[in-house]
Amino acid sequence: MLTMMQNLLKTIADLPELNYGAYNLRANGKGVQQHSTDNISITSKIGIPGIDIKVKPGAKGEVAYIPVVVTESGVNDMVYNDFEIGENADVTIIAGCGIHNDGCDASQHDGIHRFHLCPGARLKYVEKHYGEGEGTGDRILNPTTIVQMEEGSYCEMEMVQIGGVTSTMRKTDAHLGKDAKLVMTEKLLTHGSQTAHSDVTVNLDGEDAALQIISRSVAKDTSVQVFHPIAIGNTKSRAHVQCDSIIMDDARVSSIPEITANHALAQIVHEAAIGRINNEQLLKLQTFGLTEEEAETVIVNAFLD
Amino acid sequence: MLEVKNLTFHVTDGGEATILDNLSFTVPSGQITVITGPNGGGKSTLAKLIMGIERPTSGQILLDGQDITGLSITERARLGIGYAFQQPPRFKGVTVRRLLEMAHGSPLSEPACCNLLSRVGLCSQEYLKREVDASLSGGELKRIEIATLMARDVRLAIYDEPEAGIDLWSFSMLVDSFESFRTNPQQSSIIISHQERIIRLADEIIVIAGGRISAQGTQEEILPLLQGEVQNCACIQRQGGNGQC
């Protein structure tokens, strides 16, 4: 059990164990380990599952880890996490969920994450999702992310789902204040009969707010992916949304862009492309001595890297 | 050494046509063979047949005596054949350095990458971390393509119109790089080109027109013929196509 947990931690947080800095480890629906630093406090909520993470104003350079692992079959976990990033702080938060399900019952982790970035705050937030196990039970992850960005704040969100998750329904909702900038990168790999649905709504409310969404996905076998990014420019603002998907086998991918300008100086751009791996790419890599299968793996990995 | 014997490529897709008709020639080790001729004459098809991207209707291809006609692209690449595409593909997410390393087959030091890129007139510091995607111009992509073939240790290198889309300054560097191929007696090169400066690098010139070899020989033998054809063509254009000068 310990090794399984360490492997999951290594995959989702790039750490075999948590032993320094600010961290919170949740396993099979319960808080297991928690540690705060002078600048980042992590406390458990009372009455409902979840944690409060508060970063002091001006705190710089710290990294907080808040992974969740599920190693038992039949776990149905739900958490409410609130993040407060103080004025002019600059920190990184590594989250993520790894599920190992060897049983026949579904294991599910749902999270509602609310972020409040104070004026001038900078946050890099990385969320990796991963599923594994020999059981027939589903591995389900449904994250909801709510982001409130105040004047001059900057947020970089990297959402990665690197395989093994049976079904996911991701909802993201953000409001950007004056001069706030949100850069969101989504990377997704689905295979087998998995389904992944992502709804993203970003409101550019403050003058000169900026949004960039880069979504790259690969759909294999009979998996199904749906992207529905919505960018709404309510004032003079800029948004660029780019969704690229590689479709393979009998998979299905839908990219449903929605852009709205409620102001004449809102510049909102959306680009979307879905297509198979270009045959010329495969041929080129074969002329280096790679087999067709090796070439395909290189192209898919590079696309999602 | 490459031997091409009675190579024919016939297509039936969208109407029957013979693209290459009974071609035979030899490319000796340590030599540069330039293939030239009018557009649509079958030069790129010949390159693809040698690399294994297309399969011949009949005929044989031998590399150092081994019949490779039935081998796949991968098998031919592993035997030491390399091909720089006329129109190379782009790769989202793959950096220039990663592409060079894949071509080389193992990690490359920064100076080694720098050397390869400077041989095609690119400054490596700017390019190593860039992705081989739509952000590169056609000329940059083409030069990176040529560098990937130079990164490989091959017995036969095939360059398909390397001059296409390349500016004059980079073209000079490219010609110098091709000139240096002669220092490797184990490697032979086929360069498909319309450029006189590249044609002048050739130990042997093969002219392909209408799917056949219309002329073959040394520079001294073939260049006057090509120059005569150019003059004749210009004369035809001046006289409105009646050929009377």
> pLDDT tens across B94-117, in order?
999 999 999 999 999 999 999 999
CB-CB neighbours of B219 under 10 Å:
16
Across chain A, mean pLDDT equals 91
Contact between A229 and A215 under an 8 Å Cβ cutoff? The reply is yes
Top-confidence residue, A136 or A55: A55
* Pairing of β B131-132 and β B91-95: antiparallel
Please give the helix or strand (H or E) that residue B168 lies within, else none.
Answer: helix B168-180
Confidence of residue B240 (pLDDT cuts 50, 70, 90): very low
The Cα–Cα gap between A239 and A232 comes to 8
pLDDT of residue A9: 76
**Out of A244, A283, A284, closest to residue B92 by CB:** A244
**What SS3 state is found at B47?**
helix
Q: Do B73 and A305 touch (CB under 8 A)?
A: no
pLDDT of residue A1: 54
The Cα–Cα gap between B114 and A189 comes to 34
Instruction: State the complex-level ipTM.
Output: 0.91
Contact between A196 and A190 under an 8 Å Cβ cutoff? The reply is yes
Number of H helices, E strands in chain A: 3, 21
Report chain B residues whose CB lies below 8 A from the CB of A244: 92
Which residues lie below 8 Å from residue B229, measured CB to CB, with a gap of 6+?
none
Q: Which of residues 72-101 of B touch A (CB under 8 A)?
A: 72-74, 77-78, 81-83, 85, 87-89, 91-94, 98
Answer whether B106 touches A (CB < 8 Å): no
Average of per-residue pLDDT across A105-120: 90
| Unique residue bearing structure tokens 């409410």 | A80
- Supply A305's token pair: 């890297």
CB-CB neighbours of B231 under 10 Å:
11
Confidence of residue B35 (pLDDT cuts 50, 70, 90): very high
* Pairing of β A40-44 and β A51-55: antiparallel
Domain containing residue A273: 2-304
**Out of B77, B94, B148, closest to residue A286 by CB:** B77
The chain B residue lying nearest A283, using CA atoms, is B53
Chain A residue set in contact with B, beta carbons under 8 Å:
216, 244, 278, 280-281, 283-292, 298-299, 302-305
Report chain B residues whose CB lies below 8 A from the CB of A286: 72-74, 77
Distance from CA of A302 to the nearest CA of B (A): 5
Question: pLDDT tens digits, residue range B133-149?
Answer: 989 999 999 999 999 99
Question: pLDDT tens digits, residue range A180-236?
Answer: 999 999 999 999 999 999 999 999 999 999 999 999 999 999 999 999 999 999 999
Specify whether domain B2-238 bears CATH 3.40.50.300: yes
Q: Do B53 and A244 touch (CB under 8 A)?
A: no
Across chain B, mean pLDDT equals 89
**What share of chain A has pLDDT > 90, as a percent?**
71
- Kindly write down the DSSP assignment for every residue of A178-223, as one continuous string: TT-EEEEEEEEEE-TT-EEEEEEEEEE-STTEEEEEEEEEEE-TT-
> Which among A239, A238, A243, A305 has a CA at the least distance from the CA of A275?
A243
Lowest mean pLDDT among A33-42, B12-21, B37-46: B12-21
pTM: 0.82
Q: Do B82 and A291 touch (CB under 8 A)?
A: no
